[in-house]
Homo-oligomer: A and B are copies of this chain.
Amino acid sequence: MPELRFNVVTREWVIIATERAKRPKDFSNNKERSHHPERLPSCPFCPGNEHKTPAERFRVPDGDAWKIRVVANKFPALSPEGEKKRLGNGLRTAVTGVGVHEVIIETPVHNRYTALQDVADIEDLIRVYMARFVEANRDPRVEHAIIFKNHGEGAGTSLDHPHSQLIATPVVPVQFRDRVQAAMHYFDNTGECLVCSLLEKDMQDGTRIIYDTPHFLTFIPYAALSPFHTWIFPKRHSASFSTLTGEESRDLAAHLKNILSRFHYGLSDPDYNYVIRSSRPRDAGNEYCHWYMSIIPRLTTAAGFEMGSGMFINTSLPERNAEFLRSVRPE
């Protein structure tokens, strides 16, 4: 019999469709990226083409060259210039589209996907994420910032060169507000942070854990919205990603390398998105918000049911998928 599970963090019901359940291997989804070159002359993110990107805002140098570059998005979703203004209210609520939209070019090597990078390189990347996150949040027009990565066309990018993005918006997403409110109710009822409670429960349970270290836990949530949907939870309570210590950054890099290489070798380099869900640095001390990372391989297509209900149908078993990922031996 299928089972509906409730994701207490995202507040979404998931139908775990056991009758339709596929084996973990059936999700393997090779995108044929293995033939990509180390350098592609037409790629604007490859070395030698620095002039093809907008002005550089930040770099991790490597002698005269660079290891990581941060540039403005050439086609920004939000304008860096201009005043934040309400343009309407009520039935026509609008705000001027000001904010930050940056691209983080993760490596000079065109085909060195995050899964294949060294942990030390990913640690550098995480430090760049932090620096840009803090910087974006200094802009008084900014109310919320998202760091995310789109890997592959199915995840919404047309550029294969490894890159991430930061978008900082002049409003707070309602989804974020709703989740904060639910976490606040949980805190009022129990005196505890919802994510801290869930972390404790999942560590005791153990069936969906993929990687466990002193500072982080990588696991498939009980009510995973889609096959191999994975969370990385920091064990230390903090509302904001900006409070990461040096030791924690190294540990987070190891977790990201771990899960992405399991995807790469176990599921044949699937398209995926990841996102850092965090409060602003100024809200870091909040007791009921807890930042985390979500990693979503794009192995299925949301259809009318998902769009019409906000519920999901997951045609796989979170426990079985976690077991499978644990068995993957990154080459």
Residues of B within 8 A of A222 (CB): 91-92
A residues lining the B interface (CB < 8 Å): 1-6, 8, 11-13, 15-20, 75-79, 82, 87, 90-98, 144, 146, 148-150, 153-157, 165, 167, 169-171, 173-176, 178, 197-198, 201, 222, 273-277, 294, 296, 301-311, 313
Indicate which residue in B94, B276, B296, B302 contacts A156 across the interface (CB closer than 8 Å): B302
Q: Are B310 and A173 in contact (CB under 8 A)?
A: yes
Q: Are A93 and B6 in contact (CB under 8 A)?
A: yes
Q: Are A77 and B13 in contact (CB under 8 A)?
A: no
Residues of B within 8 A of A95 (CB): 3-4
Residue of B nearest to A164 (CB): B304
Q: Are A301 and B154 in contact (CB under 8 A)?
A: yes
Residue of B nearest to A91 (CB): B201
Q: Are B169 and A309 in contact (CB under 8 A)?
A: yes
Q: Which of A90, A155, A178 has the most CB of B within 10 A?
A: A90
A133 CB to closest chain B CB (Å) equals 13
Q: Are A294 and B273 in contact (CB under 8 A)?
A: no
Residues of B within 8 A of A157 (CB): 303
Residue of B nearest to A78 (CB): B2
Given contacts A91-B197, A201-B91, A309-B144, contact A97 B17 (CB under 8 A): yes
Q: Are A8 and B91 in contact (CB under 8 A)?
A: yes
Indicate which residue in B13, B155, B165 contacts A169 across the interface (CB closer than 8 Å): B13
With A3-B94, A149-B304, A274-B304 already in contact, 17 other A-B pairs whose C-beta atoms are closer than 8 Å: A1-B96, A2-B79, A3-B95, A4-B95, A6-B94, A13-B171, A15-B78, A91-B222, A92-B201, A146-B308, A148-B304, A148-B305, A155-B304, A165-B304, A165-B305, A273-B307, A275-B304
A94 to B76, CA, bound (A): 42
Indicate which residue in B87, B169, B305 contacts A167 across the interface (CB closer than 8 Å): B305
Q: Are A309 and B98 in contact (CB under 8 A)?
A: no
Residues of B within 8 A of A275 (CB): 304-305, 307-308
A167 to B20, CA, bound (A): 15
> Which 6 interchain pairs have the tightest Cβ spacing?
A156-B303, A2-B97, A175-B310, A148-B304, A275-B308, A6-B93
Residue of B nearest to A157 (CB): B303
Residues of B within 8 A of A154 (CB): 301
Q: Are B301 and A173 in contact (CB under 8 A)?
A: no
A202 CB to closest chain B CB (Å) equals 9
Residues of B within 8 A of A146 (CB): 304-305, 308-309
A294 to B306, CA, bound (A): 13
Residues of B within 8 A of A311 (CB): 169, 173, 175
Residue of B nearest to A87 (CB): B3
Residues of B within 8 A of A175 (CB): 12, 309-311
Residue of B nearest to A200 (CB): B91
A294 CB to closest chain B CB (Å) equals 7
Residue of B nearest to A304 (CB): B148
Q: Which of A3, A18, A77, A155 has the most CB of B within 10 A?
A: A77
